[in-house]
Amino acid sequence: MLIKDQLQRRTDWIYSHNFEQRFALLHNFVESLKEKSVVTETKDFNGDAYDLPISFVKLILGRALKFSWSYFEDKSATLDDAEKAMLDLYCERAQIKDGH
């Protein structure tokens, strides 16, 4: 199942509770994240990420085929927009300009 579908199911489930219940669920979730690593086996993860068939990668990534973070400037941004926005932000922060 895609991450977006999983997030939608979790969001629907959370909003089926009242405010106090939602707050407790969110608090417990945040606390549980503090106990976990982002990636537990980085060596294995990096190898697996680059061993994926390009046909699959093209299905799950945007036009830039960017594996790292994307920057969604607003809710209407597409993945392609978000990839470009993040690359633009990298260049801005690194003070990189066209031709230099």
- pLDDT by residue (tens digit) across 29-79? 888 878 876 655 555 555 555 677 788 878 888 888 888 888 998 888 999
Task: Give the predicted TM-score (pTM) of the model.
Answer: 0.49
CA dihedral angle for residue 26, residue 9, residue 71, residue 32, rounded to 10 degrees? 30
Amino acid identity, residue 89?
L
In the block, tokens 């994240």 appear at 33
